[in-house]
Structure 1
Amino acid sequence: MKIALVHDYLVEYGGAERVLQTLAAMFPEAPIYTAFTIKGSTAWKQFQNRQIIESSLAPILKWHKLYSPLRFLAPWIWEGFDFSGFDVVISSASWYITKGIIVPPECKHICYVHTPPRYLYGLPTAIEWQRYPLVKLYAKLINNFLHRYDYLAAQRPDVLLANSKNVQERIKKYYKRESQIIYPPIKVEEIIAQNKELTEKNLRKENYYLIVSRVVGAKGIDMAIEAANKLKINLKIVGETAGLRWEEAKLKKLQGSTVEFVGRVEDEKLWQYYSKAKGFLALASDEDFGMTVVESQAAGTPVLAYYGGGYKETVIDGKTGLFFYDYNLESLIKAWKQFDQMKFDINNLTENAKKFDEKVFVANIKKLLVY
């Protein structure tokens, strides 16, 4: 069976790229088709040894980071690829509308939807461009076209997969299509094994809370910093900047003496940060799924989360974490004080995480390949 993989682009390494990495491991001979890649980027480093096929428009898209304002080129990007000879194409779809590819009639197109493009449907985005009048006007012009194209593109795949119930509901609402939920692949067993090894070495929880996220305001990091400043609680923020550096600079201006920006770390080090943390904060207002929340539980660390988005599917209130319900600083501070005094059973945390293990994802994808 000849298989191809398709992904938005290869620049930042986040949750969508972790999904692609698992798919790439499942299908080692599959080429990866993408709009463009930037050599030296964190995502490129993960896939540099694979066959990567870029769009003919790649040189234009990555010149001075024009891929965002030029996203209206999506139809020409994806419809320009030739998938002749492939039996199955698996696309990984988010904001760059990869589901717009056209495959031969005898080829099966499976589309894994991380989310419909957030900027097209009024959902919070990582960088809030709508605050800038000229950008807002330009976006309005091109987004009207892209909104129609996104709907058309969503009708093309033979199978739509949703990464959560949250995204499944969006697919039904925006595309009028049914979808199957397959949760993203998370290295739960690997994290549990490392945490056990650290525990056997007499690991103790340290006095800090943790956020693992791209460093952007829309993830609730600003609110977390303000709360940590007021409560004088140690907070470590792990993750790289997404988009423009001024977003990171703006957040760092809020930084108090108990807040530390760690930057990006490799997985083994990341698992240690999870394991040693007193608690994990998940504060996006409408997260698509939230892989880091599951990783934290696998490492035996409970979660303080806003009751929204995919967090409702991954956190069990009072058992593996605590929800707060009003998205404001006062509500977070109140919940954080309560959370700081709570005790959690590590077995509840790890058992809940196991439902999302990578092997479950792999088994579910393989089932779809049986004709």
Structure 2
Amino acid sequence: MKVALVHDWLTGMRGGEKVLEVFCELFPEAKLFTLLHRKGSVSSTIEAMDIETSFLQSMPFIFKKYRHFLPLFPVAIESFDAREYDLIISSSHCVALGIITRPSSCHICYCFTPIRYGWDMYQDYFGPSNGRGLAKFLIPFFLNRLRCWDVTASHRVDAFVAISQHVAQRIKKFYRRDSRVIYPPVSADRFEINPKQGDFFLIVSALSPYKRLDIAIEAFNQLEQNLIIIGDGPLYNQLREQANSTISFLGWQPDEVVAEYFARCQGFLFCGEEDFGITVLEANAAGRPVIAYRAGGALETIIEGETGLFFDEQSPASLMKAIEKFDPLDYDPVKIRERALLFDRTHFKNTVADYIFQTYERYLKKEFDCVETT
């Protein structure tokens, strides 16, 4: 059995790449197809793979502006020759699911989300307040074409795995496909409980529009409490300009530094509507409670009153109300960590391996319809 892995792009070690790392451990001899690869940006396990990139790799300024090349992504993913592979496993939040295979190949897609900026978060990325000039007219036209391509590409997948019930509902809505839910892995052994707490709240996040860090910044500007933000992204400068002196931006930090801040924070803030939200469970693995917006994947991981609490509206006032209610002494760090261990990496690896091999065996025996899976 010849195996190929497909991943959208390799530019950093985020949640999606931690899933891919498990696939690489399961299939170390596989070919790995990806649109572009910034060498040294991902773990040694992934870097050791036989990696093939698309023509986008040689584009000027590609690593600084790769999102601007979105119109070329469908063409780039379809340019790979995957005809010799029996099993294809794509890990996709953009176009990886669209790789073209031979009819007899089995394609399993671990789906982080249908393209979020093409579907339900289109307005967050490209709504009237975000468009200007000619782009204001071209973007809606292009996104319409991208959605059509995405639906067509979804029919190339034989079996979908969703990262959460929230994503499974979106796969059903946009692709009209069923999916199996297997929660992504949390490397709980990276984190430990620290009895010495700091006087700050923490956010670890990409600084992107849908993450809604603006809510936290406005709230903490009014509360004048300490907030530390770890992460980088297109809104970095804009958010820094909005923040007062009690809010600190640390940019990107290595894993060991992030783990230390997780363990010492009073509480972790989660303001966006996420497909899953792995940082919620990383905070819990360090024994720290979470204050999260009541929506998306957080509803599947947080037990209110035991591992965190929710705020009901994406507004500074709603977040401030939750913070005023929050008392870190109400939470047991040991019980919080025990909850996170249910999502541990070892459990994910065993579960997803069983699913892949069982699905491939069923596919060879023609025991399931390649259009609908359960």
Q: TM-score with structure 2 length normalisation?
A: 0.88
2:369 maps to none
For 1:235, the equivalent position in structure 2 comes to: 227
Letter of the aligned partner of 1:221 in structure 2?
L
Matches within 5 A, 1:218-229: 218-229=210-221
2:259 paired residue number: 271
Judged with a 3 Å threshold, the aligned counterparts in structure 2 of structure 1 residues 283 and 64 are, in CA distance, closer, same or farther, namely: closer
Q: Is the 8 Å Cα contact of residues 221 and 244 (structure 2) preserved in structure 1? A: yes
Provide Cα deviations, 1:3-44, integer angstroms capped at 9, x if missing partner.
21111111243221221122222322222101122346x348
CA distance in 2, matches of 1:351, 1:364: 19
Q: Offset at 1:62? A: 5.2
Q: For the Cα contact (< 8 Å) 1:38–1:44, is it kept in 2?
A: no
Percent of residue pairs identical: 37
The corresponding residue for 2:82 is 83
Kept after mapping to 1: 8 A contact 2:26/2:353: no
Q: Give me the whole-angstrom Cα distance separating, in 2, the residues matched to 1:355 and 1:16.
A: 19
Alpha-carbon distance between aligned partners in 2 of 1:271 and 1:142, rounded to the nearest angstrom: 40
**Which of the residues 103, 106, 130 maps onto 1:105?**
103
Contact 2:289 2:328 in 1 (8 A): no
Q: Distance in 1 between matches of 2:357 and 2:75?
A: 28
SS in 2 for 1:369: helix
Corresponding residue for 1:291?
Answer: 278
Distance 2:252 2:302 in 1: 25
Q: Is the 8 A contact 1:3 1:88 kept in 2?
A: yes
- What aligned pairs does 1:1-371 form with structure 2 within 5 A after superposition? 1-39=1-39, 42-43=41-42, 47-60=46-59, 63=62, 67-95=66-94, 97-123=95-121, 131-133=130-132, 134-188=134-188, 190-191=189-190, 194-195=191-192, 199=194, 203-241=195-233, 244=234, 247-284=235-272, 286-340=273-327, 343-367=330-354, 368-370=356-358, 371=361
Write the distance in 2 (CA, Å) between the matches of 1:37 and 1:147: 25
Q: Answer yes or no: is the 8 Å Cα contact 1:297–1:350 preserved in 2.
A: yes
- Residues 288 and 61 from structure 1, CA distance in 2 versus in 1: closer, same or farther, beyond 3 angstroms? farther
Call closer, same or farther: CA 1:124–1:320 in 2, change over 3 Å: farther
Point out where structure 2 has 5 or more consecutive residues left out of the alignment: 362-374
Contact 1:92 1:112 in 2 (8 A): yes
User: Aligned partners of 1:84, 1:135: CA distance in 2, in Å?
Assistant: 37
The 1:64–1:338 alpha-carbon spacing in structure 2 relative to 1, beyond 3 Å, is: closer
CA RMSD after TM alignment: 2.2
Q: Cα gap change, 1:187/1:63 in structure 2, threshold over 3 Å: closer, same or farther?
A: closer
Distance (Å, rounded) in 2 between the aligned partners of 1:34 and 1:181: 24
Please give the secondary structure, in 2, of the residue aligned with 1:104.
Answer: coil
Deviation of 1:264 (Å): 1.6
Note closer, same or farther for the CA distance 1:125–1:298 as it changes in structure 2 (3 Å cut): farther
SS at structure 2 position matched to 1:68: helix
Q: Work out whether residues 31 and 52 of structure 1, in 8 Å CA contact, stay in contact via their aligned partners in 2.
A: yes
Alpha-carbon offset, residue 310 of structure 1:
0.7
Q: Offset at 1:92? A: 1.0
Inter-partner Cα distance in structure 1 for 2:140 and 2:123: 15
- 1:233/1:7 Cα in 2 relative to 1: closer, same or farther (>3 Å)? same
8 Å contact 1:55–1:80 — kept in the other structure? yes
Counterpart code for 1:112:
Y
Distance in structure 1 (CA, Å) of the matches to 2:256 and 2:353: 28
Which runs of no fewer than 5 residues in structure 1 stay unpaired? none
CA distance in 2: counterparts of 1:124 and 1:44, whole angstroms? 31
In the TM superposition, residue 89 of structure 1 has moved relative to its aligned partner by 1.1
Shift of 1:362: 0.8
How far residue 314 of structure 1 moved from its aligned partner, in angstroms, is 0.8
SS of equivalent to 1:363: helix
Q: When the two structures are superposed, what TM-score results if normalisation uses the length of structure 1? A: 0.89
Q: Deviations over 1:220-243 (max 9, x none)?
A: 2121122122112111111122xx
Number of aligned residue pairs: 356
Q: Counterparts of 1:185 and 1:64 in 2: how far apart (Å)? A: 27
Give the Å deviation of 1:187: 0.6
